[in-house]
Amino acid sequence: MKRIRRSRRGFTLIELLVVILIISMLAGFVAPNVLKRLGKAKTDLARPRMALIENAIKSFEFDCGRLPDESEGGLEALVATEAPPGLEDKWNGPYLKRSQLLDPWGREYLYLSEGQVNVGSFDLICLGADGQEGGEGENADIVND
């Protein structure tokens, strides 16, 4: 009697289940670390963007002799294509692009011309990931120095 040899092709169901289990375990360990680093990266990116806006505010102040006024739109004066009233001969803008006024979460920075944290200067505030005042970790508020 002759034996017929079959070549084995494909994987068994158990082999596939083992591979899926290993991949899901690796994803379970890696995913939280990746998401945690992504949140920290956005928090770390908020300060350099804030520094860019601070420099634009200081350029506006140097050119115009005063800080952007909150009653005239605050930070909008930095992206305007026309000078604020009474500053036509001094204004040298626009100082920023509109997209540069957004924090890493897509919200505008808060601007206070009368600083509460930086007394005698201005405050620039990012409300963090949650967009609410206060918070901890990546939800913490970030204020300019």
pLDDT tens for 22-61 read: 999 888 888 777 777 777 788 888 888 999 999 999 999 8
The CATH class, in words, for 18-143 is alpha beta
β-strand pairing of 110-112 with 123-126: antiparallel
Tell me the whole-structure pTM to 2 decimals: 0.69
Question: Domain limits of the chain?
Answer: 18-143
* Percent composition of the chain: helix, strand, coil (DSSP 3-state, to 5): 45, 10, 45
